[in-house]
Every structure is written in structure tokens, then in C-alpha cells.
Structure 1
Amino acid sequence: MTLLVTGADGYVGWPTALRVASRTDDRVVGVDNFARREWVESVGSVSAVPVADPDERVAAAEEVHGLDNLSLVEGDLTDRSFVDRILSVHEPDAVVHAAAQPSAPYSQINGERANYTQHNNMQATRNLLWGLAENDLSDTHFVETTTTGVYGAPEFPIPEGGAVMENQEERDEVPFPAMAGSWYHLTKSHDAANMRLAHDQFDIPISDVRTAITYGTATPETDADLRLRTRFDFDYYFGVVAHRFCAQAVSGYPMTVYGKGEQRKPFIALEDAVEGLAQLALADPDDRPDDHTVYNQVTRPISIVEVAETIAEVSGEFGLDVQVEHFENPRDEDETHAMEIENDRYAELIGGQSTTFEEGVRSILDDLVDYEDRIAAREDRFLPGVLTEGGD
């Protein structure tokens, strides 16, 4: 049995590959083109937590955790011939597809990056889906981390699956309409539609895992050795809001709340995100969903103001003097939106939330204080601005 994890050098992909490999004797093959490192460099930033090179990571996984079943292959999923080779050689029983250009702000910089994001993300998914079908692997469980951003910000509760449409006495469940607000988020809307089509046409079992804003510096597997740490981005383009605020707190920079900040966003701890993906990857074929299943990978919505205030409060435990300041919002969004999102299916999958947001913040700050100088040296990356050479 073989399990394939794409984006295995990434923030979520790397700890997922480690978690999966640690729970099975089967071969776990990670795939990545390592472009995330280049994208972050192109906007003049770095991971706050230094990241080991890929070979060193794999060697450390075997040395520290005894994972001689984990390998990491370099390759581009937009190259159909590469995808066919990796699928035909390894014939995976499950694919966890976590590879993507994941940044909405990066996709919004200019037309070049919008085109790149859409080509990169959607071509990779299409290649994998068609590759499974044409290599007689339609029984392979395909798990993709899409995003809760495909929902936009509707003024009604978001279902975990389709939306119910009614016409007089008739009713049916239909795919949730794509209401995404960025060129990146639209790639995941298209992926969601293509996965549904692939299930209908090829009968591939699909788990569409709609990932919320993921926060945290480590899982037990990555925390065991510095060489195993996953990346932690904090810049405007690749750092999610909770990470950016924590980095600002550590460097003594005011936390930059855009607009009123009363809008609620869906959040999930890294540990809870990794656990769900591992559960799906390792599910017994007799027990896993054989249909097209949507999971809202979220534990709770939190307002941006509450995020900032929680980080400011916990920062006091570390002797940090943190200020919260409001700035004009560069994004077109409802700054008072009260998001409601169902997550019963995902909560059952992971057995409930592992940590509170406050506990997660405390763990992040505890890790980041060791990298205060590294963060402070790039505090100009907290806000959008002129990119460095190579980043336009």
C-alpha cells in the first residue's frame, strides 16, 4: 500500500506527511516542487521558524522518528507526464492533495500572478484526477485541501456540503455557489467543481476538505527536532492573520487590524487540520466515504478583533507590550460579517477540537520569541508595499 501527499514541503503538507508515515508501515511518498520557498523569497520575506532543506528533513524523520517509509520526490504537478509517472509507479491507495499556491494576496498582486495561481492550482488538480482515471486508479481515495474561502461571506449559515434549493414542492441539494473573493480562492472553487465531476464520471471517492485559516507552529512530530519544524510565514502575502499578529507582537510592532475587524473568520489549529487529513488518508477502504464528501475543516469562527485582543492579552505573559491599531482595509469585505459555518462532520472525524485559540496563541508566542530578531528584520513585510527585486 502506498499513500501520496502532495505539497509535502508545505506548512500543512509536511506535518501531514510525518503524521501519516508515523501511523503506518506503508510507503508514504511526498511530492513537491519547493516553489513555496521561492514565492516567499520573492516578496522579500522568510519563514519565521527556519526550515531545513528537504533532504535534511527526510533524514531527520528517519533518525528521530524511525520513519524509513517516508520519501520526498521533487516534481511539478502541472506537468502531466510527471503526474502519470508518479501515479503509475506508486499506484497510491490514497492521495492527500495539499499542493497549491495558497495566498489570496499574492494572487491579487497583478495579472501575471493571478494567471500563475490559476494555472498552477487548477492544472495540478486536473492532472491528478485524470491521471487516476487513466491509470486505472479510480478506487484511490482523493483528498484535497480546498478552502472555506470558496463560500465567500454569505448572510446565512454555511452547510457542510451542498445547498438545498426549493422550487414550489420540489427540493434538491446542489453544489454551494462559488462566491470566492480572490483569484486564489476561485481556483479552489473550480477544483471543488472538478472533483465533483471526477466523482460523477470516474467514480473516484472524493473528500473535499474545506480548510479554514490554519494557525500554529508545530505538531508533536515536527516539535521533536529543529530539523523537522514546519514553516511559519508572517508577511502580508503569505502569513495568515493570526500568524502576522503574533509576529507583530513579538517584534514590538502594532497589530494591524484592517477596518473595524468585527468580521468573523473560520479558524483551525494546525494539529486539528493535520489530524483530519491523516484520518482520511489512512481510512480503511471499507470504512472511508466512497462518495463525494465535503468537510468544513474548521473548529470555530473568531472575529479579527478578538484574534488581536487575545494575542495582546497572552503577550503579557511573555513581557510583550502590544498595541492594537486599526488601518484602512485594503480588501473589499464586510467588516461586521458574523460567519456561521457547520462543521459536525469534521468534528466527528477528529474527535473534537484539541486546543483552544488562546492555548494555540500561547504556544505560537512561546516558539516565536526565539526568533524576534529574524522577524523584526523584516517588519516592513507586515503590510502590502513595493516588492523586492525578483518579486516585481
Structure 2
Amino acid sequence: MSILITGGDGYLGWPAALRIATRTDDRVVLVDNFARREWVEEVGSVSAVPIASIDERIEAAEEVHGITNLSFVEGDLTEKAFVDQLLEVHEPETIIHTAAQPSAPYSQINGERANYTQHNNLQATRNLLWGLEEHDMTDTHFVETTTTGVYGAPEFPIPEGGATMENQGEEDDVPFPAMAGSWYHLTKSHDAANLRLANSQFDIPISDVRTAITYGTEVDETRADPRLKTRFDFDYYFGVVAHRFAAQAVAGYPVTVYGKGEQRKPFIALEDAVEGLAQLATMDPDDRPAEHVVYNQVTRAISIVEMGNTIADVANEYDLDVEVEHFENPRDEDETHKMEIENDRYADLIGGQSTTFEEGITDVFESLTDYADRIEAREDRFLPGVLEPDEE
């Protein structure tokens, strides 16, 4: 038996693979085409934390943790022939699908990148789902990291999954409407609909893990050796807001809060995100969902300004003189939106939050202060507008 992890070279996929491999005797097969490394290079940036090659990573996993059940396959999931061969050879009992072009700003640069993002993300998911159907593997537990961004920013509390719709005195449970705010986020809205359809038509057990903004540099498995580190992006296009703020602080810049910054966003520490995927990957077959089950992979909602202030406070403990400054917001958003989001199902899955935001950010500074020169060399990548069409 095997567990397939797509996006296995990525920020979330790699540490999740390490944890899963330590908890099972099954073969854990990583799949990636290294596109994330290429995208970040394309926008003129690097991972702040140097990343080893996949061969070095797997070698280190065996040397440091005694992991012998980890292997890697290079390939493009948008190519159906590759996916068919992958499924035929490895016959996965579980698929953890983390592969995607994950950047909303990148998907918004121009029409070419919007088209690429939608084709890449949707085609990969469809190929995997149809591959399971066509190869008589519909008992495979399909776990995909979609995003809490599919919900948009409604004024009411966000449910963990569907919604109740009422019309003319009648009501029914319906899928949550696609309220995504970018061409990237909309790919995950479409994926969520396709996952639901695959469950309905093919009876594939589906866990739709709607991932919040994930922050952090380490999990227990990556701390032991530099070759095991996961990537840390800090540029405007691929660095999530918490990472970008922390990198700005290390480079001696103020933390740049757009607008009022009172809007709350959903967050989760890398440790808590990895644990959820590990729990789903090693779930007893009898406990797998019979339906399309949604998990809001989030531990709390934090306002941007609170997050910025926390990062500045932690930075100052590292003798970095950091202030929070407000800039004009380049995004069209409600700067005072108070998001509320349900997460009971996910909290039960991981046994509750293990890492606070302050603890996670402290971990970030422990890592980034060793690589200040890599960040400072590309400090022009912090803000938007650095990648123009004539640079393509």
C-alpha cells in the first residue's frame, strides 16, 4: 500500500510527508515538478531558508530520522498520461493533494498567469479524480488542501463547509457559494465543487481541507538537519503576509500594514497544519468519510494590525528596531471586516491548537535571523509592482 503526496517538494507538502512517513509503514510517494521553485525565481526572489535538493532531503530523512519508506517521482499532474501511470504503479490508498499554484497575487499579474493558474490547478485535480474512477480505485481517500479563501469575507460566521439556504419559507443545506476574490482562490472554489461531484458520482471518500494562511518555519521533523528545512517565501507574490512582515523586520524595514489593517484573516501554524494532514493520511479506513467532508484548517482569526504589532514586538526581542507603519491599501477589501470562522471539526482532528501565533512567529525569527543577507539582497521584492509585463 502507499500514500501519495502531491506537491511533495512544497512548503506544506514536504514537512507533512516527513511526519506521515514516521507514522506509517506504507510507502510514502512524493510527486512534484519543482514549479514552485521556478515561479519564485521568475519573480526575482528566493526562499529565505536555503532548500536542499529532493535527493538530499530524502537522504537526510533516512540518516536523521531513519525514514526508509519515502520516495520521489518527478512529473506534471496536468498530463493525464503521467497521472494514469502514477496511479497504476503506486496504487495509493490515500492521496494528499497539496500541489497547486498557490499565489493570489501571481494569478492577478495578467491574463496569461490567470489562465496558467486555473489550468494548472484544475487540470491536476480533475486528472487525479478521474484517474481514480477509471482505474477502479474509488476507495482511495482523497484529501485536498483547498483554501478558506473560497468563502470570501461574508458578514456572518463562516460555517465549516456548507450553508443553509432559505427561499419562500423552505430551506435546505447547500454548498457554500464561491465568493473567492482572486483567480487563484477561484480555482479552489471550482476544485471544491469538483470534489463534491466526484464523491457524488464516483463515491470517492473526500476530505476537503480548507487551509488558512499558514505561517512558521519548522516542525519537529525539520529541525534536526538543515537539509530537512522547508521553504520560506517572503516576496509580495509568494510570501504570505506574516512571513513578509517578519522578513521586512529582519531587513530593517517597518512592518507595512495596508490601510487600517483591522480586518481579521484566518491563520494556522505550520505545525498544526501538518498535524491535520498526518491525521487524515493515517486515518483508519473504517473512519474515512463516506461523503464530501470539509475541514476549516484554521486555529484562529487575527487582524492584520494585531499580527503586525505582534511581529514587531517579537522582532524587538531580537534587537531589531521595528515599527508598524500604515500604507495605502492596493487591494479592494473591507479594512474593518471581523471574520468569524467555525473550525470545530478540524480542532477535533488535531486535538486543539498546539502553537500560538506569538510562538510561531518567535520560531520564524529564530530561523530568519540566520539568513538576513538573503532577505536584504532581495528587499525590493517586498512590495507589489516589481514584476511588469516587459520583464517577462
Partner SS, residue 286 of structure 1: helix
Matched residue type, 2:123? Q
Partner SS, residue 166 of structure 1: strand
Partners of 1:216 and 1:90 lie apart in 2 by: 32
Provide the residue aligned with 2:229 in structure 1: 229
1:377 aligns with 2:377: yes
Alignment of 1:1-392 (within 5 A): 1-387=1-387, 392=392
Partners of 1:255 and 1:102 lie apart in 2 by: 23
Q: Do the aligned residues in 2 keep the contact of 1:207 with 1:294 (CA within 8 Å)?
A: yes
The structural deviation recorded for 1:385 is: 2.2
> Per-residue CA shift, 1:180-207, capped at 9, x if unaligned?
0000000000000000000000000000
Partners of 1:166 and 1:390 lie apart in 2 by: 50
Partners of 2:104 and 2:316 lie apart in 1 by: 32
The structural deviation recorded for 1:390 is: 9.5
Q: Give identity over the alignment, percent.
A: 79
> Per-residue CA shift, 1:123-153, capped at 9, x if unaligned?
0000000000000000000000000000000
User: Number of paired residues?
Assistant: 392
Matched residue type, 2:297? Q
Partners of 2:167 and 2:379 lie apart in 1 by: 54
Q: Which stretch shifts more, 59-68 or 133-142?
A: 59-68
Q: Which stretch shifts more, 56-65 or 228-237?
A: 56-65
Q: Do the aligned residues in 1 keep the contact of 2:266 with 2:299 (CA within 8 Å)?
A: yes
Q: Do the aligned residues in 2 keep the contact of 1:32 with 1:74 (CA within 8 Å)?
A: yes
Partners of 2:269 and 2:262 lie apart in 1 by: 21
Q: Do the aligned residues in 2 keep the contact of 1:258 with 1:326 (CA within 8 Å)?
A: yes
Q: Do the aligned residues in 1 keep the contact of 2:260 with 2:326 (CA within 8 Å)?
A: yes
The structural deviation recorded for 1:168 is: 4.1
Q: Do the aligned residues in 2 keep the contact of 1:42 with 1:390 (CA within 8 Å)?
A: no
Partners of 1:311 and 1:245 lie apart in 2 by: 7
Matched residue type, 2:111? G
The structural deviation recorded for 1:386 is: 2.8
The structural deviation recorded for 1:389 is: 9.8
Partners of 2:373 and 2:167 lie apart in 1 by: 60
Matched residue type, 1:154? P
Q: Do the aligned residues in 2 keep the contact of 1:249 with 1:315 (CA within 8 Å)?
A: yes
Q: Do the aligned residues in 1 keep the contact of 2:106 with 2:113 (CA within 8 Å)?
A: yes
The structural deviation recorded for 1:169 is: 4.2
Q: Do the aligned residues in 2 keep the contact of 1:215 with 1:360 (CA within 8 Å)?
A: yes
Partners of 1:156 and 1:389 lie apart in 2 by: 39
Partners of 2:389 and 2:185 lie apart in 1 by: 26
The structural deviation recorded for 1:167 is: 2.8
Query: If the length of structure 2 is used for normalisation, what is the TM-score?
Result: 0.98
The structural deviation recorded for 1:166 is: 1.8
Matched residue type, 1:136? D
Partner SS, residue 38 of structure 1: helix
Partner SS, residue 93 of structure 1: strand
Listed as ranges, the gaps of 5+ residues in structure 1 are: none
Partners of 2:389 and 2:69 lie apart in 1 by: 40
> Per-residue CA shift, 1:202-228, capped at 9, x if unaligned?
000000000000000011111111000
Cα RMSD over matched residues?
1.1
Matched residue type, 1:295? Y
> Per-residue CA shift, 1:44-79, capped at 9, x if unaligned?
000000000111111111111111100111000000
Q: Do the aligned residues in 2 keep the contact of 1:16 with 1:274 (CA within 8 Å)?
A: yes
Query: If the length of structure 1 is used for normalisation, what is the TM-score?
Result: 0.98
Q: Which stretch shifts more, 231-240 or 160-169?
A: 160-169
Partners of 1:166 and 1:108 lie apart in 2 by: 34
Partner SS, residue 245 of structure 2: helix
> Per-residue CA shift, 1:27-47, capped at 9, x if unaligned?
000000000000000000000
Matched residue type, 1:118? Q
Matched residue type, 1:122? L
Listed as ranges, the gaps of 5+ residues in structure 2 are: none
> Per-residue CA shift, 1:58-111, capped at 9, x if unaligned?
111111111110011100000000000000111100000000000000000011
